[in-house]
Amino acid sequence: MSSKIVAANFKTNHTRRSTAEYVASLDRFMAENGIGTPVYIFPPATALENFETESGIRIGAQNAYPTVKGSFTGEIGLQQLGEFGIDTVLIGHSERRHILGESQEFIAKKFAWFKEQGFTIFYCIGEPLEVREAGEEAVRRYLVEQCEGIDTSYENLIMAYEPVWAIGTGKTATPELIEKTHSIVKAFSERPLLYGGSVKPSNIAEILAVPGCDGALIGTASWDISSMQSMLEIVNSE
């Protein structure tokens, strides 16, 4: 049985109903096939639910505001997550950094607050193309900056390296590049480190075989249940 972590980020996909169907059928599939790989699903906020699963699929929030409750229009806090027993959150995803404009300062504040609550935190870092093109030292500095104010030794932390140029583009980093970059991150964090960026059934085996890669954070290829099932079968057979 593989101990690699597999996480599915639904982003702005799936509804409340289709998420429930997805979780139920994935749960059945995992139980029937004896898949014990730790699986986390991050559905949109409208689909959060206290799912009872046989396989122990864990549900996390893609985002939340560092508050119990209050006046933060459009956001959800601890009270809303607590209703569904959610204690896992994704922080620092490149889409929140670059599209929603979250600053490192705000991200660090969010991290500290959810750490205080004992949450499992999936913390994402990754460089844009121009930084990658500027060379490895530039990448190292960029990744270190994205961890400013972050307790990278937090016991419930799972790190994810996701190069921006590989997210949703179909362009995956090579195993060599993943191994190199993971060793840069491992130098300042010993927590489990996932790779994310166009992971799919055809490349998940080689990505998870990279030394220092503890799992995958999957967007696009996780939205379709049969694609997710194929990836879990592959992970489980390794």
Q: Which residue is nearest to ligand PGA (CB)?
A: 219
In 10 A of CB 226, how many CB atoms? Answer: 10
Beta-strand pair 39-42/215-218: unpaired
Closest distance of CB 166 from ligand PGA, Å: 6
Residues present in the chain in total: 238
- Choice between 78 and 213, CB closer to ligand PGA: 213
Closest distance of CB 197 from ligand PGA, Å: 5
- Choice between 118 and 170, CB closer to ligand PGA: 170
Say which amino acid occupies 189.
S
Catalytic (active-site) positions = 93, 162
- Choice between 78 and 199, CB closer to ligand PGA: 199
In 10 A of CB 151, how many CB atoms? Answer: 16
Encoded tokens for 178: 């993943």
- Choice between 55 and 62, CB closer to ligand PGA: 62
> Which ranges of 85-187 does DSSP label H, i.e. alpha helix?
94, 104-116, 129-133, 136-145, 175-186
Sole residue written with tokens 């702005």: 12
Closest distance of CB 148 from ligand PGA, Å: 21
Closest distance of CB 157 from ligand PGA, Å: 17
Positions that interact with ligand PGA (CB under 6 A): 9, 162, 167-168, 196-199, 217-221
Which DSSP state fits 61?
Answer: B
- Choice between 36 and 201, CB closer to ligand PGA: 201
d(CA 16, CA 121): 23
Closest distance of CB 161 from ligand PGA, Å: 11
- 8 Å CB contact between 84 and 48: yes
What is the enclosing helix (H) or strand (E) of 22? helix 16-32
d(CA 75, CA 78): 10
